[in-house]
Amino acid sequence: MSDDFEIDWGNLPLIPAGSYQAVYVSHETLYQSFGAKIKITFRITDLGHVNGALINGWYNAKALPSKPGKNKRAILSRHSKLATELLNILCTREKPSRLSPAQLKGKLLEISVRTVRTNSRQKKYADPQTYSVVDHIERIILDDRVEPSYRPLPKPIPEPIPTSKEGSPIAKRLPRKWRTDSSTNLALEKGM
């Protein structure tokens, strides 16, 4: 019909809520109705029907020092969600003056995905309007930029400490025939 409205659904995917493996693709700064935002785009790498899907994570910024755009700078509050997540997953112990989502490039990440069911005024969406976003970045699974030869090897299991020496309190409580003594072992080897 000529009086029908066309609906622009955009590229907002609907992915079941849960944890997924993903890689960083890009980030973008922009202004929205509630202020400065940072949009980080991830590509899901899990096997299954969601493999290759692009999904966005949205974070608040304190200010944008330059024009908004792709891979542009932003100023974060020290207690902001993005600053907290980057400090936690990048294992930074000191107070860095600068952080960037681009530091996630080349790393396999575990992200948590949630379904958005209400709008910004907490009004419920109809089922076809729901979509998925990245709730938070959980951890780094693998860092591809680290050479395999530099990856730390697992610590070997230490050798057990012998507990039945002649002078130990445990050995004194054992019957004589069960005690291990170097002179007893020599006698047994010689057939005495």
Other beta carbons within 10 Å of 105? 13
- Residues with Cβ within 8 Å of 74's Cβ and at least 6 positions away in sequence, in order, are 29, 36, 38, 61, 62, 63, 64, 65
Q: Is the pLDDT of residue 9 over 50?
A: yes
**Selected residue with higher pLDDT from 176 and 183:** 176
Q: Is the pLDDT of residue 30 over 80?
A: yes
Per-residue pLDDT tens over the stretch 131-152 = 999 999 999 888 765 444 444 4
Residue 45 lies in a domain: yes
**What is the DSSP secondary structure assignment for residue 161, as one 8-state letter?**
P
State whether 44 and 75 are in the same domain. yes
State whether 78 and 131 are in the same domain. yes
State whether 189 and 98 are in the same domain. no
State whether 90 and 177 are in the same domain. no
State whether 141 and 164 are in the same domain. no
Q: Token digits for 172? A: 């004194």
Please report, for the domain that includes residue 117, its CATH number: 2.40.50
Residue 8 lies in a domain: no
Residue 2 lies in a domain: no
Give the residue numbers spanning the domain of 79.
18-145
Residue 168 lies in a domain: yes
* Mean pLDDT of the region 115-130: 90
This prediction has a pTM of 0.69
Bridge partners (DSSP) of residue 40 are 27, 57
State whether 164 and 135 are in the same domain. no
Please state, in angstroms and rounded to a whole number, the distance separating the CA atoms of residues 191 and 10.
89
State whether 22 and 97 are in the same domain. yes
State whether 126 and 168 are in the same domain. no
Residue 173 lies in a domain: yes
State whether 92 and 165 are in the same domain. no
Q: Which residue bears the tokens 């948590």?
A: 112
For the chain, the first-to-last Cα distance in angstroms comes to: 109
Based on the structure, what is the number of domains in the chain? 2
State whether 95 and 189 are in the same domain. no
Q: Is the pLDDT of residue 58 over 90?
A: yes
Residue 7 lies in a domain: no
Please report, rounded to a whole number, the percentage of residues in the chain having pLDDT higher than 70. 73
State whether 46 and 105 are in the same domain. yes
